[in-house]
Amino acid sequence: MRDQTVFFLLLVVVFSLLWFVWPWSWLVGVFIAGLVFLWSLFFVSCVGLGRGFVVVFGLVAAPLALAPVAEPLFLWYAVAPLAVFVVLVYAASRAYDSLLWGFLFVVGSLWLHVIILVAVDLLTGGLLSQAFDMGFDVYVRWNVPLIAFMDTFSLYISCKAVKLIFAYVKRRRG
């Protein structure tokens, strides 16, 4: 596939569709780990994916799956977003040769994607809010694939947009 990011976008969405049949048991941890892993690869692929990142994100996601068998790992559910964020900033700063630019890239993409999500939410009469509020439910399953698709899709647009903006700014600066 030409665009690696599109490949991971599809991977996230296809994986999220498994939620429809995923059993409500400790295996939910595995699902969450898978989702976090693929989403992280998807995002990082926007700035450049290396093998190292696959390993790192694998290590970041694994404790989420293992928490039900080693309970203290539930703490990782709290810490994992921060860890992913740090790695993403690191990856972006490698691409833009500066920690500040890397940080701005990640935060900028996330903010822009949430603006798109809000717009979609407004257009659909609060469908996305409803999906987010539902959380993980044993019987209501449609929300997770929807969120996965909308989130990755909007993030794809936003990260590409931020990339263009950054390229433009860099050109202007010479």
Partner 1 sequence: MTSPKLRGGSLAALVVLVLLVAAERVYVYEVESDVPITEDVPHVPGVSWRFGEQLLVVWVPRDVAPGIILFTNETAPIPLYDRTYFLLVVPADARPSHRTEAEAFLKTPDGTYPVVFRKPDGGIIDITAHSIEDALTILKQMGLQPEYRGRAELIAKGDPDAGGEAAAPTLPRRPSVGSTFDVYGGLYFRETPVTRTGLVVIPVRGTQSACINVRGAAYVGYDAKSFALGTLIRGGAVDADLIVEVYKIELLGNCTFLGSQRFRLANRTRYWVSLINSTTSVDELAVFVMLDVRSFSGQPRVGVNASLIYARTYRYGFEVGEFAARAAGGFVVRREVRRVVIGPYVAYDGYVAQTVSSSLTLTLATEPVNGVCKDLRVRFTINGRSPSGTYIYRGRHLGLCIYDVYLPNVWEPSFQTEYFYAKAFGGGLAWVLDIEYTDGSTPYVVAMFLKNADAFRYWRWAEQWKTIPEDIDASWMYPFLSSAFEIYATPTEPIPAPGIYHGLVTVRTDSVGQLFRAMLSISGRYTYPGLDRVVYMKKAEVDIAMPLSVWGLYAGGFYLDDLLSSVAPRGWVREAFDVKRVVDFILMLAGVVGRVAGLLGFATGEGLKSAGDSIMVQTLDYYTARIIYRRGWYTNVASDTIIIPFRTHSLYGRDTPTELEITRICLDNICTNPSLKAYVQPDTSYIYSIKTVHAFLKNWMFRAQVSGVASYYRP
Which residues contact partner 1 (rule: CB under 8 A)? 12, 24-29, 32, 35-36, 39-40, 64, 67-68, 71-75, 77-82, 84-85, 103, 107, 110-111, 113-114, 117, 132, 135-139, 147-148, 151-152, 155
Give the nearer residue to partner 1 in terms of CB position, either 98 or 172. Answer: 98
Give the nearer residue to partner 1 in terms of CB position, either 78 or 174. Answer: 78
Question: Nearest approach, Cβ of 164 to partner 1 (angstroms)?
Answer: 20
> What is the helix, strand, coil percentage profile of the chain, to 5?
80, 0, 20
| CA 9 from centroid of its chain's CA atoms | 9
Cβ(116)–Cβ(157) under 8 Å? yes
Give the nearer residue to partner 1 in terms of CB position, either 131 or 163. Answer: 131
Give the nearer residue to partner 1 in terms of CB position, either 156 or 174. Answer: 156
Cβ(119)–Cβ(128) under 8 Å? no
Distance CA 39, CA 8 (A): 8
Give the nearer residue to partner 1 in terms of CB position, either 60 or 171. Answer: 60
CB atoms within 10 A of CB 63: 20
Distance CA 174, CA 55 (A): 35
Long-range contacts of 166-174 (CB under 8 A, 24+ apart): 166/96, 166/101, 166/105
Question: Nearest approach, Cβ of 165 to partner 1 (angstroms)?
Answer: 16
